[in-house]
Chain A
Amino acid sequence: MFSAFILVPAILNGLMTGAVYALIALGLTLIYGVLHIINFAHGALLMAAMFAAYFAHELLGFDPYLAILPVTAAFFAIGYLLQRFVITPSSHGKDENILLVTLGISIILENLALAFFQADTRTIDTPYAFEIVDLDIAFLPLPRVIAFFAALGVALALFAIMRFTDLGRAIRAVAKEKRGAELVGIDVKHIYAMTFGLGIACVAIAACLLLPNYYVNPQVGNAFVLVAFTIVVLGGMGSVTGALIGGLIIGLVESFGGLFLGESLGQIGIFLIFIIMLLFRPSGLFGQRA
């Protein structure tokens, strides 16, 4: 029905978008897996990081790929402080309150951006924005290829941190058995905030990787936030590999949804997956408990 010249680029494009989605979802699933909270401000923080990278480029002349270091460090700190001094004190022991507070944070961030930067959609100009990688059967924009491999690299690095460092061990200990971790001398509050910071750092990296061939406006986070939730649910809440595979699947779904149904109806596929997964298989495709 469709020739390989349509299908192969659709697959490759879907995989590349999916890798960046996966990176965003990785932050979300890490936070969920350890703190058992849903960070509704994830999309708004992505938007804020994209603006940060945008202004680093426009005002200071930072290349977005170079801006990864300062932006990620800054957002790690923001995440740490948010979790420790705003989110935790507001929970009063109820999950819904955390959802409400992070919703509040996302409303604040989004509309501050709207007030200060207006609703304009902005893009940056880089010499390599229109470079093409020619694979004979498909042409791929260079920034997306870079984003694909960088996202996979970050996922691998995160995996290594969790596996081989003291911080990672402490995080895993807290996730498994909070009280036990506290008893052996782990500062649980600190680890919670560190985890949240790591999750937001993933978002900041994703923002810098997206910027060279994406746009930024105050609403840009919305496009990603439900997608990220869907990936997390698809891959199983708290599962790192699940988020990675879920991200790639959702990238493909979006790419093919757009191909067959058109851009705006194509989005529905993702929401429907989200609803159906939550209803019928809330533990995810790869969740431990069925």
Chain B
Amino acid sequence: MRGYRSIIAVAVILALIPLVVTSNLWLNIAFTALLACLLGQGWNILGGYAGQFSFGHAVFFGTGAYVTAIVMTTTGINPWAAFVLGIGGGALVGAAIGFLVFRYGLRGSYFALVTLAFAEVFRVLANTMAITGGGSGLVVASNLRPEIFQQTSRLGAYAVAAVLVVGVLFITRALENSRTGAYFVAIRENEDAARALGVDPFGFKLRAIVLSAAITAMGGALYVQVFPYIDAPLMYGPRYSVEALLVPIIGGMGTVFGPLLGAVVLHLLAEAATMVTGDIAGLNLVLYGLVLVLMVRFLPRGLIGLFDPRVPKARLPLPRIAGRRRREAGDA
């Protein structure tokens, strides 16, 4: 049960929040934070654990949303089934992209740019093809069935999102305790060394991107259930790609709770900023950019790095390390 108790504690806190927070406005904020958390949890598997930074995670988010919406509007299928199909669609896209990209050994910045290009290709396709509704998007509201899954009340949406987030926390912890998780980290730290020790980087990176894509697609499938209108610039555009990577970077990449912490902090900050400045288009995202630059500059291990002694401290600026070495030398 190593490390699962803290997840149960988080689950209890998430369950208690609706008792304190009852206004629809705040439940809505809590829901958006949890949605961002799901995206970030997905990104974290691939970026945080396996070390492959994606700049186009919207490709999975959007696919999850579009598959769910298309299946629901064309077949009138049970929304739960559509939800599962949406996740499957995202995972499939993840497998296809992962196969191509890792097969040809793209790493680092190249991997980031190629994922961004894939997201752009999907955006243009979704914007032109008939099945996705082209430029006018898709409306799924016509067959809203709240008794099954689609959430008309904000409380229901929050509850579903909270359950999913806790579920992914468990998955992430299980991954962390598993051999697969250890291989992911080995590849992140030094791919060539991992290969020399017998780890198959291609196979494990592929597994990482499929799991990552499935979780992020789950966020998209959830989005459709709550906001029944989608269009290509939003679903496949840069906004969710940025949110997916920002959230674990703020909280702490490669940690179980990093994305959750990052999502909560980011959305509280964004709300506070909106209250101060009023609703000026763009200022919210300026904050996103500023937070990104400041985190990478000063806290590359994220907020969790400040609290968790098990997470190695960020690479400190050189003079301080030199100072510590000197002190250690003096002790000896």
Contact = CB atoms under 8 A, between A and B. Distances in A.
Interface of A: 38, 86, 89-90, 92-93, 95-101, 103-115, 118-119, 218, 222, 226, 229, 264-265, 267-268, 271-272, 274-275, 278-280, 282
Contacts of B245: 100
Contact of B293 (A108, A111, A222, A229): A108
A97 B292 CA distance: 10
B297 A90 contact: yes
Among A100, A274, A282, find the residue whose CB has the most chain B CB atoms closer than 10 A: A100
Interface of B: 53, 55, 100-101, 104, 106, 108-110, 112-114, 116-118, 120-121, 124-125, 127-128, 238, 242, 245, 249, 280-286, 288-293, 296-297, 300, 314-315
In the A-B complex, list the 3 residue pairs whose CB atoms are closest, starting with the nearest.
A114-B282, A107-B289, A104-B292
A107 B286 contact: yes
Contacts of B297: 86, 89-90, 101
Contacts of B286: 107-108, 111-112, 115
Given A111-B282, A275-B114, A279-B101, 8 more contacts: A93-B315, A95-B109, A99-B55, A100-B245, A108-B290, A114-B285, A226-B117, A271-B121
Contacts of B100: 279
Nearest to A222: B238
A114 B53 contact: no
Contacts of B288: 107, 111
Contacts of A280: 104
Contacts of B290: 104, 108
A114 B116 CA distance: 22
Interface of A is mostly: helix
A8 to B, nearest CB: 28
Nearest to B277: A115
A267 B104 CA distance: 24
A112 to B, nearest CB: 6
12 contacts: A92-B315, A96-B53, A99-B55, A101-B296, A103-B242, A107-B292, A111-B286, A111-B289, A112-B286, A115-B281, A222-B238, A271-B117
A229 B113 CA distance: 9
A103 B125 CA distance: 24
Nearest to A264: B128
Given A89-B297, A100-B249, A271-B120, A111 B283 contact: yes
A100 B293 CA distance: 7
A45 B226 CA distance: 37
Nearest to B104: A279
B289 A108 contact: yes
A195 to B, nearest CB: 18
Nearest to A89: B297
Contact of B53 (A99, A226, A272, A279): A99
B292 A103 contact: yes
B115 to A, nearest CB: 10
Contacts of A113: 282
A90 B124 contact: no
A268 B125 contact: yes
B281 A275 contact: no
B208 to A, nearest CB: 16
Contact of A101 (B113, B280, B293): B293
Contacts of A229: 113
Contacts of A96: 53, 108-109, 112
B112 A226 contact: no
A104 B289 contact: yes
Nearest to B237: A222
Contact of A99 (B109, B238, B282): B109
A187 to B, nearest CB: 19
A90 B293 contact: yes
A264 B242 CA distance: 24
B279 to A, nearest CB: 11
Nearest to B317: A89
Given A86-B293, A99-B55, A101-B293, A265 B124 contact: yes
A172 B288 CA distance: 37
B282 A112 contact: yes
A115 B280 contact: yes
A44 B133 CA distance: 30
A275 B117 contact: yes
A29 B283 CA distance: 31
A119 B124 CA distance: 21
B285 A107 contact: yes
A226 B115 CA distance: 12
A115 B293 contact: no
A63 B117 CA distance: 36
A282 B284 CA distance: 37
Contacts of A92: 296, 300, 314-315
